[in-house]
Each structure stands twice: as structure tokens, then as C-alpha cells.
Amino acid sequence: MKCYDDPHIMQNFIYTMNDYNIRNKIMKYHIKNANKSDSHQWLGTWTLYQNKNNKFLFKDVDPLFSSIKISTDTPFPDFLSKMKKKLSLYPVSVFTVCLVYDQYLVHFVSFIYLSKEKLLISFDSGIEIYHHGQDTIVPYIQTQFKKYSLTNNNHYPNLGRCKHFRWKGKYMGLQFTGMEESPDAFCQSWTIYFLVRFLYSGFSISHKQHLQTLFQFVNDWCKINPKKRAMMLTENFIIPVLLFFPDVLKHLKKLTILKNKGIKTCRFDEVSPKKADVVIECTGSPAGFNAALNVVHPQGTIVLKSTYEVKPTIDLAPIVINEITIIGSRCGPFPPAIRLLENKVLDVLSLISQRVPLDKAIEAIKTASQKEHLKIILEISK
């Protein structure tokens, strides 16, 4: 399959699935499509990090929580105390937790919470591959749910370990590909696919079902040879997402433009920290600046082109300690840029999403505000 055989496309998809809005759209669509709107609720992605005092704080805030007064660095217990009532409103709540570690690496785990039974179920596809799920995320969330009386026993079903294939004496998680040197990096996708599959599993709140029967689909996944699981994920989740959710394709299209220009792209976890002499930060996201600080070499330079809609929370200490130079840059000198355009050295046509006549300027402005578009050109002559 061409999509799967192109590692560039697949790596870009991994990065795309970090996007809160895309995860939210996928889950909201499937809850509605599975006719579970009255009984199930999607509670977004909880992105946390552990500070020097071993306290868990929010690294980023899902737009889904805009009505709740939480922000970056909000302690997780404060968040959970506000969410406790919301968790009791529906029989079933589903959410994912993302742990940010080593500054910018991430691992995702899925959770299902049954409010009447006070039961918390976790799904970690990276068991024995990425230790942060079992060592940190799962036990911490379990402890906090018990602390706030959201669970009433010590039984927490923990899914994701496959017992059909053993590697070096260990039963590995679903992400295991059969090769130690090339682990599956699709935890973002596995966590959402698990929850989507759960929505269509036939679970009913009117009668209790044995968990082994309810999650038989996980056991079926585990029976698949590890070398073929990524293909199964691609065929059953990734390709349908690309077909039904244009917002995902817009990211891939932008990255394809860069690829066609010979510009290499990669994930954050593929970039060696403290190696770049110069980093140009143009993400438009506060998280982009923090990532730039992690990548730039001591005494290196960050060229800051982003302006942020939300006031960023930035730790200034690394800038001082590592003697980082920050240069603000907006448009730059026009004459050299005009000369490059005149000589057709730069290809800017691929950056144009639409051409619109002047009498439709108002519509063009609205279109330009949509994230999937790059540049909208107003044509005066039409």
C-alpha cells in the first residue's frame, strides 16, 4: 500500500494525531455515529508533565476545556477536582492522557471510566516498549481517581499487553513490531483507535458484561503477528481517518509541500537536543518556543517569527544559563525578496490555496482564517 510504504507520510500522520482538534473531531464524530451521545462522553486529552518536585502539572490545555479555568502549569489534582462532577454526568467517560517527558517526547494512554460501577479501565499499547505508561501514567491516574473517591476498589483493568507472542521472555504491548530497533511509534493512533473500537463493541449500560468479552477485539488484535499490526492499524484506522477527516489531510498537504521543495521534516522525538546552532521558530504555538529551547545548542540563536494568540508560559532560566540569543523577525528586507521573486528563484505558487475576485473579499477573509489554507490571493482584475 503506497500510503503505508511512504515513511514520510506515516511519520507526518503520527505528528498530526497530536493535534487536540483532530482527536476531538474523531471522537465526537464516532460517539454520535455509534448512537452513544446519551450515554458516552469524550473528555479530551490531558497533557501532563512531572516537575522537579514530582508534581504533575498541565503542559498544554485541550481546547475542549475552555470553559474550565485551567491553564498551563495547573496542578492535575486541581483539574480533577473540577472534573469530578462532570465525570459523574454520563455512565461512560472516555479520555486519553499524554505524558510529556524529556522536554518534548510523549506517550499516550487511553482510559474508560464507568461512573455507576466506579471502574477505571486503561489501555496502554506501549507496554514493555515505552515504560512511561505503566510506570507513571497508569498508576498516577489510578491513584488520583481513588483519592477523589471516583473508584472504590483496587481493581483496575489494564489492557494492551499481548500474550500470544513472547519476546526475550516478555509479553509485549500492541505497539511491538517484532524488532527491537524499530518500535511502533503510533501510540497517538492506537489510543484513539481503541476508544473508537470500544464505541462499536456492543457495550450496554443496561446489563453488565464480562470485560474479557467486551474487549475481545483487543485480544483479536494481539493475535495478529507483530510485524503486521502497523498495517492493520493503517488499513482500519489511519486510511479511514484520512478519507473522512479533511483536517488531517491539510497537515499532510503542508508537509508534502516542504518535501517537494527538498526540505526534510521529522518528528520532535527525532531531533537531537542541543544540536542546532540556529532554530527558526515559526509554529505559532507557545509549545514551539519551548521545543526550540530544547533543540538549540548552548550559545546558539533562536529566530522568533511566531506571534502567539495565548500568552506563553516560558521558563527564562535556560535562556540565561545556556546564553541563548533570541532575535525577533517579522518580514525582513523587501528588496532582496523581490529580486528572488523576479528571478523566479523561489516557488511561491504552491503556497497559494485559492484565488478570489475582489468583490468576494469578505468571503476570502473568512476563508483565510481557516487553518487548512495557506495564502488566499485577491485578484483585482476579476
**CATH 3.40.395 spans which residues of the chain?**
2-250
Whether residue 127 has pLDDT greater than 80: yes
Whether residue 206 has pLDDT greater than 60: no
* pLDDT for position 181: 52
Are the beta carbons of 325 and 300 closer than 8 angstroms?
Answer: yes
Q: What percent of the chain has pLDDT over 90?
A: 35
Cell 523566479 identifies what position?
Answer: 344
Better pLDDT: 253 or 298: 298
Better pLDDT: 366 or 278: 278
Contacts of 41 (CB under 8 A, 6+ apart): 31, 86, 89, 90, 92, 93, 94
Q: Does domain 271-328 have CATH number 3.40.50.720?
A: yes
In 203-222, which positions are buried (b, 16+ CB within 10 angstroms) versus exposed (e)? bebeeeeeeeebbeebeebb
Most confident range, picked from 198-212, 221-235, 269-283: 221-235
What would the pLDDT profile of 17-37 be if each residue is shown by its tens digit? 888 888 999 999 999 999 999
User: In the CATH scheme, what is the code of domain 2-250?
Assistant: 3.40.395
Band of the pLDDT at 2, cuts 50, 70, 90?
very low
What would the pLDDT profile of 270-316 be if each residue is shown by its tens digit? 566 777 889 988 877 777 888 888 889 899 999 998 887 777 777 88
Whether residue 177 has pLDDT greater than 70: yes
CA distance 53 to 197: 38
Question: How many residues in the chain?
Answer: 382
C-alpha cell recorded at residue 101:
517527558
Band of the pLDDT at 262, cuts 50, 70, 90?
low
Q: Burial of 187 by CB count in 10 Å (0-12 exposed, 13-18 middle, 19+ buried)?
A: buried
Whether residue 164 has pLDDT greater than 90: no
Q: What is the mean pLDDT of residues 250-257?
A: 64
CA distance 184 to 160: 14
Strands 296-304 and 325-328: parallel
Amino acid symbol at 218 = V
Whether residue 109 has pLDDT greater than 90: yes
Whole-number average pLDDT of the chain: 83
* pLDDT for position 119: 92
Whether residue 1 has pLDDT greater than 60: no
E strand or H helix that includes residue 113: strand 105-114
**CATH 3.40.50.720 spans which residues of the chain?**
271-328
Backbone φ, ψ for residue 242 (5° rounding): -65, -35
